[in-house]
Chain A
Amino acid sequence: MRGFRSAAHDTFVGSDRGGHRRLARGDSLMNIHLGTPVSAEAGRRQGDAWETVIGLEIHAQLATRSKIFSGAATAYGAPPNTQACLVDLGYPGVLPVLNAEAVRMAVRFGLAIGAQIARQSVFARKNYFYPDLPKGYQISQYELPIVAGGTLEIVLEDGSRKRIGVTRAHLEEDAGKSLHEGLAGLTGIDLNRAGTPLLEIVSEPQMRSAREAVAYMKKVHTLVRYLEICDGNMQEGSFRCDANVSVRPAGSEKLGTRTEIKNVNSFRYVEKAIQYEVARQIELIESGGKVIQETRLFDPDRGETRSMRSKEEANDYRYFPDPDLLPLELEAAYIEAVRAELPELPDAKAARFSAQYGLSDYDAGVLTASRELADYYEAVTRTVPGQSKLAANWVMGELAAALHKDGLEIGAGKLSAERLAGLLARIADGTISGKIAKEVFEVMWASGASADEVIASRGLQQITDTAAIERAIEEVMAHHPAQLAEFRAGKDKLFGFFVGQVMKATQGKANPAQLNALLKEKLPG
């Protein structure tokens, strides 16, 4: 690849085994509330006396086809040790070769957060013994990471925005997995994951509540999926985080002793883990104790964090530059070429949605929470021009609810954007009312039929024939002489009763506006 080289040489970089992997499905639509309002006050729920300080280290698995230093595949879920080559197994004599695609993805991320892309970065060895770490060291970046100093913006509950600094993002390889289940008394080692490329994204300690932390994490999640550098699948561990948490007296400048909660792989768990940890630390200090710097694990079943190892027990990782890999040098032209390929990013897209479609900031934020969702919305509005607000309501309302109910991702249901647009067109042209549309939607959702097919086959077309509505009104008036008399004697609220009766008589198909107008004309006599 042009313009991309290792120090002193031209082509040290192995190429990825293919183009992009088709990114796995995005997160569920419930996650579209990512990056949207959180309570600025949440962190002080424990009382105004304490301030919470949180920094996150997010591990995003890069969506390359092959591993970061070998040609083995990265696909998830293969039988143990079937996707580990000699390099991943740490065999004597083998050497790592950097995957150029992983580098390109890291650069994409760095550019998207306005960070510095290091013209020279260095891979280091992090040395420790563990059975699922084949070489006895992990190749990571330590002193000179590829990305440094970017920012992301989150939206607080009051609608204000807060910038969170990204200290750095660096490339590293993942370790394998130790398996304990079904191996009575033994530990199994699966090295399929060993050597999988990770981008570790380290934030500044600038979050002040669990909800801010979650908002930030969701923002990063949205971004890496926009950039198509991570599939964001949290169940499979493609996106997980370590949370550094401390508390300090409100107004204090000095940071309190922090604990690190390791390897949390859901937004909900991150929120719960931090909330638990903040409460634990405050309680500890207030009862005269001291927070110990340590690594803790979150137990989702019990909703608590537990000590894993203290600072004293921590490894001395003996980092040093990996002599098997020369410093990674990136030319300015290479970085610019990557910049030129960046897609429209979430914030820019949200701003455009507000301006172009007249949406509120909130709606624009929700609809741009994933590229798939934004694309779906835009496909709907393109098909029914001039109905952007109606489209927003339906995509965020009925569609989101239906997807959530069935546990589906956007684009996975039977209802294409064009079909949904077809339904909205029938609302817009008065063929059906909004109420009937919901019925039609349900049938379409279940059957995959078009709106027109459902309306025709079920005879749901709205009655807009004035004479027909007048006939229905007259029948209702004839059947309810008492109510009519009361209405005419001044009981205005019976107007609604007549609306209901006529709707009932027409199976809800009477055009509501016409019905209103005609009733106003006829009821007074």
Chain B
Amino acid sequence: MTIDRRTVTQLAADLRARKVSSVELVRACLPRIEASQSSLNAFVTVTAEQALAQAQAADRELAAGRGGPLAGVPIGHKDLFCTAGVRTTCGSRMLENFVAPYDATVVARLQAAGAVMLGKLNMDEFAMGSSNETSYFGPVRNPWNTDLVPGGSSGGCAAAVAARLVPAATATDTGGSIRQPAAFCGVTGIKPTYGRVSRYGMIAFASSLDQGGVIAQTAEDCACVLRSMAGFDPRDSTSVDIPVPDYLAGLDAPLAGVRIGLLKEFFDTGLEADYERHVREALAVFERLGARLCELSLPNIPRSVPAYYVVAPAECSSNLARYDGVRFGHRCRNPRDLTDLYKRSRSEGFGAEVKRRIMTGTYVLSAGYYDAYYLKAQRVRRLIAADFERAFAEVDLLMGPTTPTTAFALGAKSADPITMYLNDIYTISANLAGLPAMSVPCGFVGGLPVGLQIIGPHFAEQRLLQAAHRFQLETDWHARVPERCA
């Protein structure tokens, strides 16, 4: 018995119908995860004992006719959601042995909904990266071709779902960290509106951009998991007190009359021709479903990447100051004095990409540079948000490619940070504007998945999920499984 190709929705139903027990599912998953580690390296920590205990508890609840909407469903958490008693590494040597004494709100809510945690998923160090190569625990590999990267920073999450090691995983997206790996691995991912999911217990990279979300096989599963993790949290001052709708209700609603905008700036010269062909074919599917397409231009979009690489490093340089070797995390051996303690603990604890961003961020916030970089980037951010606002006065959804190319080879871009950063060119703007966005599998080029990106206005998650779900009822790209994992 394996989770095989069953979705969260199917598993939850089978568990409730007592066709399968949670313990059986967990027992089936664990050896598959174990076996995959050498080739995929998707997990940093596997919590076998705890998972079995949670599964037993879920089975008891289910037997008694109780249990939350996800009772007994195994999931994985990106390794930056704090889990009480289980280490949370953030993919960094700095937190290699860090065990949080509390659960992130997302973790607690999913546990309350009955989900069973199988383990913590590998990621780029502190969520900084687009290839999962910056993880201290080694790169994750793409299940479709293990010579390729799975994308990042939620590479472990996307790879684990693509390889059907877990039916769904929590993830986070600061500049594309859910959507880009979802596209590279052929799975479905949603980054909700900023403020929709609590950031409490989610280790920060860039606070004004970070947002927790879900990677799963289908839009329906994303709706199912998101429903249990979203909502106001008094411990996160930036979480928003707007009721969470039932994302599952209305998924089947027709798309007739829905206005879809194609972002001209997303179909630029950097986009691979075959990738573009699949995206346009996907758009034709929506047209057949009754949606109306039009082309739109958001003139400030090209400024997203430079603005992002000022704002995100600025916040990161401050957020990561707490890793000083004093209270938790890596501490160097035998520090000579305070300065030595700081310098060596941080030099040893952080990897190259994290250091690069801390230095960039420190620079752009420095006296004499603040106005020219940070303030200017914030102005650009407002212009981009205004662009989107104008667009959403005309259309209900925006669509385009998630990435310019399919997954690239390990090592192909790691020497050149700018090339790496440009991989996020289509995803970053939604973070800058705080908008909800998804990536949905929409084809294959050379055996590698292609992602369709859907962006909506603030708090329009339901509309995104509905469009993605209707698309998935018409297509089977999302249901394809890498041969080696089938």
Contacts and interface: CB of A to CB of B under 8 A. Distances in A.
Nearest to A98: B237
A133 to B, nearest CB: 9
A134 interface: yes
Contacts of B411: none
Contact of B365 (A92, A318, A325): A318
B370 A93 contact: no
Interface stretch (A9-17, A158-166, A498-506): A9-17
Contacts of A9: 240-241
B200 A93 contact: yes
Contacts of A187: 338
B237 A96 contact: yes
Nearest to A132: B326
B123 to A, nearest CB: 14
Interface in B197-250: 199-204, 206-208, 234-238, 240-241
A90 B237 contact: no
Contact of A90 (B101, B201, B322): B322
Interface stretch (A123-131, A201-209, A258-266, A389-397): A123-131
A135 B321 CA distance: 6
A129 B324 contact: yes
Contacts of B366: 316, 318
A525 interface: no
Nearest to B338: A131
A92 B199 contact: no
Contacts of A326: 237-238
A11 B324 CA distance: 33
Interface string B343-375: 000000000000000000010011100100010
Given A95-B200, A136-B321, A89 B327 contact: yes
Contact of A320 (B95, B234, B241, B370): B370
Contacts of A182: none
Contacts of A8: 240
B42 interface: no
Contact of A129 (B101, B342, B374): B342
Contacts of B320: 136
A518 to B, nearest CB: 82
A95 B322 contact: no
Given A92-B98, A95-B199, A11 B234 contact: yes
B318 A92 contact: no
A131 to B, nearest CB: 5
Contacts of B204: 92-93, 324
A320 B364 CA distance: 11
B237 A94 contact: no
A89 B326 CA distance: 10
Contacts, number: 108
Interface in B400-441: none
A6 B237 contact: yes
Contacts of B241: 9-11
A320 B373 CA distance: 12
Contacts of B240: 8-9
Interface string A4-31: 0010111110100000000000000000
A92 B95 contact: yes
A127 B366 CA distance: 10
B101 A86 contact: yes
B236 A95 contact: yes
A97 interface: yes
B234 A91 contact: no
A131 B326 contact: yes
Contacts of A97: 234-235, 237
Given A90-B322, A318-B362, A323 B203 contact: no
A86 B238 contact: no
Contacts of B102: 86, 93
B359 to A, nearest CB: 12
B160 interface: no
A320 B314 contact: yes
B367 A324 contact: no
B431 to A, nearest CB: 12
B315 interface: yes
Given A127-B321, A324-B207, A92 B100 contact: yes
A320 B375 CA distance: 9
Interface in A378-429: none
Given A90-B327, A136-B321, A95 B235 contact: yes
Interface in A158-211: 187, 189
Contact of B100 (A91, A95, A98, A316): A91
Contacts of A495: none
Nearest to A318: B365
A137 B327 contact: no
A320 B374 contact: yes
A325 B320 CA distance: 17
Contacts of B238: 95, 323-326
Contacts of A323: 206-208, 238, 315
Contacts of B235: 95, 97
B90 interface: yes
A320 B237 CA distance: 17
A93 B100 contact: yes
A97 B80 CA distance: 21
A6 B338 CA distance: 38
A287 B249 CA distance: 84
Residue of B90, B100, B318, B328 most packed against chain A (CB within 10 A): B318
Contacts of B365: 127, 318-320
Given A86-B102, A131-B326, A320-B318, A93 B201 contact: yes
Interface of A: 6, 8-12, 14, 86, 89-98, 125, 127, 129, 131, 134-137, 187, 189, 316, 318-320, 323-326
11 contacts: A86-B102, A92-B100, A92-B328, A93-B200, A93-B204, A95-B237, A127-B318, A318-B362, A320-B314, A320-B370, A320-B374
4 tightest A-B contacts by CB?
A: A136-B321, A318-B365, A323-B208, A323-B207
Given A89-B327, A93-B204, A187-B338, 7 more contacts: A12-B234, A91-B100, A93-B102, A97-B235, A127-B317, A127-B321, A320-B318
